[in-house]
């Protein structure tokens, strides 16, 4: 290997960032990952299953975490942020700010602090669908396996109580932010995506009608380690749904919201239709779509889910509004095949909200974004590499291919 | 051969995290001193705290302790603290998770459980040696070559070669045609690859080809194909047509795609009228300079593009070729640019322009001369006026319509260059599930011409694509060091191909770097042990060569396996397969696991304490077990778990070991197998399941009930279900009479 002296900075420890990091490190590079969450794994850690195999994302994450654990060339900082960058390709001076380590590396995850903590806060991991203790594991399989204190929602007194219960000196109420500096040869921007803000979709009842949920919330409802232990229930009354509508392009392919197609939502909804079907073999399910974008061999998955399901109705049409109708929801849409306005009563609706790039206020000289906020990646000149959903809204396989290639582009900058 | 390690063992017990509250630590220490007899044994209240671990390090540095038996939390935790140098051995005994957190505190059975786990760990350390790379023990080992061979000189191959070179490595690019460029040589323009995602772009093939040709690190061999590839990563010996031979370290297969045969589309008028052309014929026409109606050379006033011509069709090509929608939009633009008065019609099933390509679709939609509708083609016939009449049903323009166009362009799909066509089955070589194609490509694509016992080419998945089956690991390959990329492995756009080829180049480079260190590649990339074959006891049964999921082993004329250590992934499937038990790794071998099982103390029948062995795969099932334990769900104290690399490494002798020692049952935990397998070594858990037949025979020979052994498939997310599965099995075993071999 050509001498790779400087580390690669990877901003974002989701599946794209983690993959770039491990692939680069196993090829001989040094890598520093900076992740804003208190755990690695990003959005996919919150998914119940991947399409089309319907396998658990934690399986691949676990293998990758093992690769990180055994690799001395990878350093990672969670609950951290890149706060300043200067320099250029081959020579970036980077400042990383670590949020106060109220729970530090001495934590054994024994759970004693959680027992004495009285404050409950909405679960970030479960998109607010339930409450958790202010000091808790970010999620059951969190890596690193370390407790985290939500300082934004609980008092310092609460933290002091927790500190008194810790036998290992792992809780420090006086912790202050720290900074770390790194001289990096390349910067990989793997900042990922966020679900399009439901509040902007008021015509679809988002954020107002409790039985209208987003597709990311649906993942948590279906997950065994989610707020309902994997049982899909109506949030309003925790009852079993008797009918469900999936509303595609909720905020996507729409000049008033996100211009782009988020590319994964059709397949994600088909996957979620399968979740519902596994639990409710007979209830009516409706999917309102503009085009079913099951590209490539994902077509097989579309066929597998949609074929032979007599209670699944695919309606080509965009949903215009969702209103409460007694205990039910009333969807209004235009069926583009018949040209007729159609309305449908259901119990529960899942909005296929799109993927919006999560810029996280990141500003780096030389880093440009397009008008949809996706990274314009020109590593040969800038030394900055956009990867995964920061660059394009794509599914995991494409993120992984892209992340693996990004590892090589980054190595080239560090030569 | 390296000298055997002179071992000095330290046993360190942690009483923190409630371990001390559940176990009698003094008694445990006493047991350790009397049975394990280590040089040092110490109990700490929190072994992971800096001062406690510093004391362990002091023992290693000052007292010569080189084997550490760490009895504390699970091996998934505190790996940053509990790390030892490579010349030392560490074994972690998870008395926190698998004992203290899941068992009744201060109970006799809980204490016995902890004791057994410590005995097992100590036994394992005894049978382990620090691994050394294979080439240190092979005087004939040749140096690892780091050149990357790229097969296919299209966009994917040229990108892979160029990116390899930019990272400072040498590449050899082999192209069967006389010039570089591949299929993209036919392109007039390409669909957008960058913001604002609305404009057609120059395909850039010529620039790429000249960059490749002018690159001093790249050797270009055009008009050349591979005649033979032998060896393994770092040591591939390749011979090419024209007599050239060379050694390379890793291989990127970028052999591309071929169009679906339009002859099979007569229902869409292909072959009936020369004015029905494929998208490729149309592209060539546009590139050549003029779009003209083939029958009479007229500049067409209207062109109809028929999407999914043969694709998304259960009878023809069931999958979607992913790029054809954008390609037809591009070609519609050609029509409009050539003749501003001409009309383009696009008839689609779904308009599939994902991600930012949506902008291109929007831009084309804005052109009133491009008419788009969803629809199903009912018929395409030549009309009296020489135009083509197209009947379309189920449109969004209001029911059925009839269009007339001067030309029809069929958006035909992409098939991989690896597909072995067999006109017997539905015209494409595909059986209903695609398996026939998969089976034949492995032996018949003849692109790599591997001199491997297991076939000449990469094994393929459905539809003949040599793709990875893993979502998280798209470069996983069943032939180590050979990575497919670009359209050979999935239909994809030029932009996706460039990204994929760059990734494949990285994997090839990573493979030669790991190989040069003596390490495996993914998933055991940290492992530098290798399988050692005690060949004088080999009976040439060929099970190891047959069963290795990666085609690692070749054979000599007699059928004796010829190991290729650089192809090996260290899963241990060969070790499980071998009836003579001649395969072992320094850090994983048949006696090691057998002795761990035998180290469990089996109480007398009268004690009514059954003993059950859990053989558990460390990839998914073990983390699931660990999670179940972390949730502190009670688990039966009768079971003792032994961690395995893969269930495929289960040697049936372990069953005999366990049963003759008096164990009452064995529960095996592996990954899901079948079409959507989750096994990280492709077939390990499936192979174990097949070996269960032999296992039943073993039980029969011992006159024991077959219910004593069960295999379960576990996903990592099944951790909430796991305690129930375990406890139910333990209860079933309790129902049986005790194993009569107890006490023998």
Residues B169 and B213 occupy one common structural domain: yes
- The rounded distance, in Å, linking the Cα atoms of A65 and B268 is 52
- The rounded distance, in Å, linking the Cα atoms of A260 and A372 is 8
Mean pLDDT in residue range A209-219: 97
Closest-CA distance of chain B to residue A41, Å: 12
Closest-CA distance of chain B to residue A374, Å: 9
- Expressed in angstroms, the distance from the first to the final Cα of chain A is 9
Adjacency order of strands within the sheet including B218-222: B218-222, B171-175, B148-151, B250-253, B482-484
Residue of A295, A318, A388 to mutate when probing chain B, most B C-beta within 10 A:
A295
Instruction: Please determine, for residue A106, whether its predicted confidence score (pLDDT) is greater than 90.
Output: yes
Is B496 in contact with A398 (Cβ distance < 8 A)?
Answer: yes
- The rounded distance, in Å, linking the Cα atoms of B252 and B484 is 6
Q: Both tokens of residue B300?
A: 């067409």
B200: DSSP letter: -
Is B321 in contact with A408 (Cβ distance < 8 A)?
Answer: no
Mean pLDDT in residue range A343-358: 96
Alpha helices in B662-705 (DSSP H): 684-701
Residue B241 lies in a domain: yes
Tell me the CATH number at B184. 3.50.50.60
- The rounded distance, in Å, linking the Cα atoms of B689 and B653 is 15
Chain A residues whose CB is inside 8 A of the B48 CB are: 106, 108, 168
For Cα atoms B188, B193, B196, give the angle at the middle one, nearest 5 degrees: 110
For Cα atoms A282, A286, A287, give the angle at the middle one, nearest 5 degrees: 135
Residues B281 and B405 occupy one common structural domain: yes
Residues B450 and B537 occupy one common structural domain: no
Residues B198 and B91 occupy one common structural domain: no
Residue B139 lies in a domain: no
Is A70 in contact with B715 (Cβ distance < 8 A)?
Answer: no
- The rounded distance, in Å, linking the Cα atoms of B328 and B308 is 11
The residue from B516, B534, B559 where one domain ends is B516
Q: Which of B326, B347, B342 is nearest to B293 (CA)?
A: B342
Residue B135 lies in a domain: no
DSSP notation for A266-295: HHHHHHHHHHHHHH-SSS-EEEEES-----
Pairing of strands B561-562, B171-175: unpaired
Give me the residues of B, 610-669, that contact A with CB < 8 A.
Answer: 619-620, 623, 627, 630-631
Question: What is the pLDDT, as a whole number, of residue B3?
Answer: 78
The residue from B386, B412, B438 where one domain ends is B412
Is B500 in contact with A415 (Cβ distance < 8 A)?
Answer: no
Q: What percent of chain A has pLDDT over 70?
A: 99
Chain B residues whose CB is inside 8 A of the A68 CB are: none
- The rounded distance, in Å, linking the Cα atoms of A226 and A125 is 9
Residues B29 and B174 occupy one common structural domain: no
> Is the sign of the CA dihedral B430, B320, B150, B475 positive or negative?
negative
- The rounded distance, in Å, linking the Cα atoms of B159 and B449 is 23
By mean pLDDT, which of A200-204, A261-265, B646-650 is the weakest? Answer: A200-204
CB contact B730 to A (< 8 Å): no
Length of chain A: 415
pLDDT, tens digit (0-9, with 9 covering 90-100), for A39-53: 999 999 999 999 999
Distance of CA A128 to the CA centre of its chain: 14
Question: What is the pLDDT, as a whole number, of residue A1?
Answer: 46
Chain B residues whose CB is inside 8 A of the A409 CB are: 163, 502
Query: Is the CB of residue A398 less than 8 Å from the CB of residue B496?
Result: yes
Residues B289 and B253 occupy one common structural domain: no
Residue B70 lies in a domain: yes
Residue in B17, B314, B523 closest to A108 by CB: B17
- The rounded distance, in Å, linking the Cα atoms of B259 and B487 is 11
Chain B residues whose CB is inside 8 A of the A26 CB are: 510, 513-514, 522, 525
Residues of chain B with pLDDT under 70: 1-2, 422-444
> Can you list the domains of chain A with their CATH numbers?
8-99+177-192+358-414 (3.50.50.60), 112-165 (no CATH), 196-354 (3.50.50.60)
Q: Which of B255, B182, B254, B252 is nearest to B505 (CA)?
A: B252
Is A1 in contact with B510 (Cβ distance < 8 A)?
Answer: no
Residues B84 and B162 occupy one common structural domain: no
CA–CA distances in Å: residue B202 to residues A207, B186, B189, B497, B643:
46, 12, 5, 16, 55
Residue of A108, A255, A334 to mutate when probing chain B, most B C-beta within 10 A:
A108
Is A50 in contact with B627 (Cβ distance < 8 A)?
Answer: no
Is A296 in contact with B358 (Cβ distance < 8 A)?
Answer: no
Chain A residues whose CB is inside 8 A of the B416 CB are: none
Structural domain boundaries enclosing B432: 148-258+418-516
- The rounded distance, in Å, linking the Cα atoms of A316 and A328 is 22
Question: What is the pLDDT, as a whole number, of residue B433?
Answer: 39
Is B500 in contact with A405 (Cβ distance < 8 A)?
Answer: yes
Residue B264 lies in a domain: no
Can you state the angle between helices B590-598 and B653-661, rounded to 10 degrees? 20
Residues B624 and B648 occupy one common structural domain: yes
For Cα atoms A280, A282, A288, give the angle at the middle one, nearest 5 degrees: 90
Is A400 in contact with B473 (Cβ distance < 8 A)?
Answer: yes
CB contact B241 to A (< 8 Å): no
CB contact B720 to A (< 8 Å): yes
Q: Which of B182, B179, B178 is nearest to B157 (CA)?
A: B182
Question: What is the pLDDT, as a whole number, of residue B437?
Answer: 42
Query: Is the CB of residue B540 less than 8 Å from the CB of residue B560?
Result: yes
Phi, psi of A206 (to 5 degrees): -65, 135
Query: Is the CB of residue A92 less than 8 Å from the CB of residue A187?
Result: yes
- The rounded distance, in Å, linking the Cα atoms of B287 and B282 is 9
CB contact B225 to A (< 8 Å): no
CB contact B230 to A (< 8 Å): no
- The rounded distance, in Å, linking the Cα atoms of B272 and B718 is 57
- The rounded distance, in Å, linking the Cα atoms of B298 and B287 is 17
A344: DSSP letter: E
Residue in B362, B473, B513 closest to A27 by CB: B513
Residue B706 lies in a domain: yes
Residues B563 and B598 occupy one common structural domain: no
CA–CA distances in Å: residue B447 to residues B91, B152, B435:
45, 10, 19
Mean pLDDT in residue range A11-29: 98
Q: How many domains does chain B have?
A: 5
Closest-CA distance of chain B to residue A256, Å: 14
Give me the residues of B, 376-395, that contact A with CB < 8 A.
Answer: 394
Closest-CA distance of chain A to residue B162, Å: 11
- The rounded distance, in Å, linking the Cα atoms of A140 and A132 is 12
Residue in B471, B672, B719 closest to A396 by CB: B471
Residues B510 and B540 occupy one common structural domain: no
Q: Which of B112, B114, B81, B83 is nearest to B97 (CA)?
A: B114
Tell me the CATH number at B33. 3.40.50.2300
Residue B138 lies in a domain: no
Tell me the CATH number at B564. 3.30.70.20
Q: What percent of chain A has pLDDT over 90?
A: 94
CB contact B490 to A (< 8 Å): yes
Residues forming a β-bridge with B65 = none
- The rounded distance, in Å, linking the Cα atoms of B264 and B270 is 8
The residue from B412, B438, B455 where one domain ends is B412
Q: Does B196 sit behind a cis peptide bond, omega within 30 degrees of 0 on the bond before it?
A: yes
Other CB atoms closer than 10 Å to residue A142's CB: what's the count? 21
- The rounded distance, in Å, linking the Cα atoms of B452 and B305 is 45
pLDDT, tens digit (0-9, with 9 covering 90-100), for A108-146: 999 999 999 999 999 999 999 999 999 999 999 999 999
CB contact B17 to A (< 8 Å): yes
Q: Both tokens of residue A330?
A: 């009333």
Chain A residues whose CB is inside 8 A of the B672 CB are: 55
Closest-CA distance of chain A to residue B744, Å: 41
Is A303 in contact with B48 (Cβ distance < 8 A)?
Answer: no
Closest-CA distance of chain B to residue A326, Å: 33
Residue B43 lies in a domain: yes
Is B77 in contact with A108 (Cβ distance < 8 A)?
Answer: yes
- Secondary structure in 3-state letters for B241-271: CCCCEEEECEEEECCCEEECCHHHHHHHCEC
Closest-CA distance of chain B to residue A70, Å: 7
For Cα atoms A154, A155, A156, give the angle at the middle one, nearest 5 degrees: 130
pLDDT, tens digit (0-9, with 9 covering 90-100), for A60-98: 999 999 999 999 999 999 999 999 999 999 999 999 999
Residues B628 and B692 occupy one common structural domain: yes
Distance of CA B496 to the CA centre of its chain: 20
Helix, strand, coil fractions of chain B, as percent rounded to 5: 35, 20, 45
Residues B456 and B504 occupy one common structural domain: yes
- Residue A334: band (very low, low, confident or very high) from pLDDT cuts 50, 70, 90: confident
Chain B residues whose CB is inside 8 A of the A53 CB are: 469, 471, 676, 678
Q: Which long-range contacts (CB under 8 A, 24 or more apart) does B199-203 make?
A: B200/B330, B200/B333, B203/B494
- The rounded distance, in Å, linking the Cα atoms of B462 and B460 is 7
CB contact B358 to A (< 8 Å): yes
Is A1 in contact with B509 (Cβ distance < 8 A)?
Answer: yes
Residue in A108, A167, A299 closest to B73 by CB: A108
**Nearest chain B residue (CA) to A75:** B80
DSSP notation for A218-243: HHHHHSTTSTTTT----TTT-PPPS-
Residue in A56, A292, A337 closest to B396 by CB: A337
Reported pTM: 0.96
Question: What is the pLDDT, as a whole number, of residue B439?
Answer: 45
**Nearest chain B residue (CA) to A110:** B17
Which residue in this structure is represented by tokens 């032998």?
A: B230
CA–CA distances in Å: residue B222 to residues B166, B170, B251, B356, B456:
21, 17, 17, 36, 22
């Amino acid at each position: 290997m050509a001498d790779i002296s400087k580390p690669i900075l990877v901003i974002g420890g989701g599946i794209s960032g983690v993959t770039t990091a491990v692939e680069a490190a196993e090829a001989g590079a040094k890598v520093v990952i900076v992740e804003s969450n208190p755990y690695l794994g990003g959005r996919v850690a919150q998914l119940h299953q991947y399409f089309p195999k319907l396998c658990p994302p934690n399986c691949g994450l676990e293998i990758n975490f093992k690769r990180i654990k055994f690799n001395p060339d990878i350093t990672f900082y969670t609950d951290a942020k890149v706060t300043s960058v200067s320099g250029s390709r081959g020579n970036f001076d980077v400042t990383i700010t670590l949020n106060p380590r109220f729970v530090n590396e001495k934590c054994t995850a024994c759970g004693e602090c959680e027992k004495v903590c009285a404050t409950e806060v909405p679960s970030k991991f479960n998109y607010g669908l339930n409450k958790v203790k202010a000091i808790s594991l970010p999620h059951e399989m969190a890596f690193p396996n370390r407790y985290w204190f939500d300082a934004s929602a609980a008092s310092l007194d609460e933290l002091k109580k927790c500190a008194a219960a810790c036998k290992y000196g792992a809780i420090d109420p006086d912790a202050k932010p720290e900074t770390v500096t790194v001289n990096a040869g390349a910067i990989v921007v793997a900042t990922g995506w966020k679900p399009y803000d439901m509040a902007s979709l008021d015509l679809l009842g988002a954020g107002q009608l409790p039985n209208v949920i987003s597709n990311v919330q649906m993942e948590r409802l279906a997950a065994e380690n989610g707020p309902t232990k994997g049982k899909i229930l109506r949030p309003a009354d925790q009852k079993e749904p008797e009918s469900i509508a999936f509303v595609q392009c909720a905020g996507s392919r729409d000049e008033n919201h996100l211009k782009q197609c988020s590319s994964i939502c059709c397949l994600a909804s088909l996957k979620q239709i399968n979740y519902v079907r596994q639990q409710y073999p007979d209830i009516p399910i409706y999917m309102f779509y503009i085009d079913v974008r099951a590209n490539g061999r994902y077509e097989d998955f579309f066929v597998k889910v949609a074929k032979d399901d007599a209670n699944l109705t695919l309606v080509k049409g965009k949903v215009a509004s969702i209103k409460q109708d007694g205990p039910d929801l009333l969807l209004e849409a235009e069926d583009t095949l018949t040209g007729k306005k159609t309305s449908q009563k259901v119990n529960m609706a899942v909005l296929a909200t799109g993927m919006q790039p999560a810029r996280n206020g990141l500003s780096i000289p030389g880093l440009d974004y397009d008008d949809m906020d996706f990274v314009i990646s020109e590593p040969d000149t800038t030394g900055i590499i956009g990867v995964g959903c920061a660059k394009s809204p794509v599914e995991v396989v494409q993120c992984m291919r892209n992340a693996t290639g990004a590892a090589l582009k980054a190595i080239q900058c560090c030569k | 051969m390296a000298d055997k390690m002179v071992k000095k063992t330290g046993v360190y017990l942690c009483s923190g995290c409630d371990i001390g509250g559940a176990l009698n630590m003094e008694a445990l220490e006493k047991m350790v001193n009397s049975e394990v007899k280590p040089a040092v044994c110490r109990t700490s209240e929190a072994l992971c705290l800096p001062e406690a671990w510093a004391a362990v390090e002091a023992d290693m540095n000052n007292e010569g302790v080189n084997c550490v038996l760490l009895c504390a939390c699970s091996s998934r935790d505190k790996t940053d603290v509990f790390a030892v140098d490579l010349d030392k051995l560490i074994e972690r005994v998870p008395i926190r998770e698998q004992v203290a957190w899941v068992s009744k505190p201060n109970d006799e059975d809980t204490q016995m459980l902890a004791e057994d786990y410590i005995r097992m760990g100590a036994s394992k350390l005894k049978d382990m040696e620090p691994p050394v790379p294979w080439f240190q023990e092979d005087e004939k080992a040749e140096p690892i070559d780091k050149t990357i061979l790229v097969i296919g000189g299209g966009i994917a191959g040229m990108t892979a070669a160029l990116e390899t070179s930019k990272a400072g490595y040498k590449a050899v690019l082999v192209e069967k045609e006389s010039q570089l460029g591949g299929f993209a040589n036919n392109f007039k323009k390409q669909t957008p690859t960058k913001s604002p995602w609305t404009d057609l772009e120059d395909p850039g093939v010529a620039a790429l080809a000249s960059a490749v040709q002018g690159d001093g690190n790249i050797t270009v061999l055009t008009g050349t194909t591979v005649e033979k590839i032998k060896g393994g990563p770092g040591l591939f010996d390749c011979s090419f047509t024209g007599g050239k031979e060379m050694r390379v370290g890793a291989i990127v297969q970028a052999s591309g795609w071929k169009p679906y045969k339009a002859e099979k589309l007569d229902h869409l008028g292909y072959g009936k009228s020369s004015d029905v052309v494929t998208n490729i014929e149309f592209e060539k026409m546009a590139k050549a300079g003029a779009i003209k109606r083939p029958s009479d050379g007229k500049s067409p006033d209207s062109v109809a593009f028929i999407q999914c011509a043969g694709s998304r069709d259960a009878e023809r090509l069931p999958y979607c070729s992913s790029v054809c929608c954008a390609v037809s939009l591009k070609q519609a633009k050609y029509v409009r640019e050539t003749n501003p008065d001409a009309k383009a019609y696009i008839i689609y099933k779904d308009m599939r322009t994902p991600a930012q390509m949506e902008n291109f679709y929007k831009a084309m939609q804005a052109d009133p001369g491009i008419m788009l509708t969803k629809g199903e083609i009912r018929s395409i016939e030549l009309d009296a006026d020489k135009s083509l009449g197209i009947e379309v049903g189920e449109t969004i323009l209001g029911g059925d319509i009839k269009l007339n166009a001067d030309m029809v362009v069929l958006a035909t799909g992409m098939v991989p260059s690896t597909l072995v066509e067999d006109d017997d089955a539905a015209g494409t070589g595909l059986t209903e599930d695609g398996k026939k194609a998969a089976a034949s490509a492995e032996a018949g694509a003849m692109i790599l011409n591997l001199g491997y016992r297991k076939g000449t080419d990469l094994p393929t998945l459905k539809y003949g694509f040599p793709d990875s089956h893993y979502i998280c690991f798209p470069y996983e390959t069943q032939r180590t060091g050979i990575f497919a990329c670009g359209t050979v492995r999935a239909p994809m756009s030029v932009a996706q191909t460039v990204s994929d080829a760059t990734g494949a180049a990285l994997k090839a480079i990573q493979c030669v770097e790991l190989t040069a260190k003596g390490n495996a590649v993914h998933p055991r990339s940290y492992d530098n042990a290798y399988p050692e074959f005690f060949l004088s006891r080999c009976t040439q049964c060929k099970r190891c060569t047959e069963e290795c999921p990666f085609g690692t082993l070749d054979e000599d004329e007699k059928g004796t396996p010829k190991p290729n250590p650089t192809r090996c992934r260290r899963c241990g499937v060969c070790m499980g397969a071998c009836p003579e038990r001649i395969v072992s790794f320094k850090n994983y071998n048949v006696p090691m696991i057998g002795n761990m099982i035998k180290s469990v103390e089996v109480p007398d029948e009268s004690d009514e304490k059954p003993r059950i062995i859990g053989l558990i795969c460390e990839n998914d099932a073990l983390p699931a077990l660990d999670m179940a334990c972390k949730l502190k769900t009670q688990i039966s104290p009768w079971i003792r778990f032994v961690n395995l690399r893969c269930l495929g490494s289960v040697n049936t002798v372990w069953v005999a070991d366990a049963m003759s020692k008096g164990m009452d049952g064995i529960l095996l935990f592996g990954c899901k197998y079948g079409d959507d397998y989750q096994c990280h070594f492709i077939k390990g858990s499936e192979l174990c399941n097949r070996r269960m037949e032999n296992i039943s025979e073993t039980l029969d020979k011992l006159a024991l009930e077959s219910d004593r052994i069960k295999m379960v498939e576990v996903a990592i997310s099944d951790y909430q279900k796991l305690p129930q599965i375990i406890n139910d099995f333990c209860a079933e075993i309790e129902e049986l009479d005790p194993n009569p071999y107890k006490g023998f």
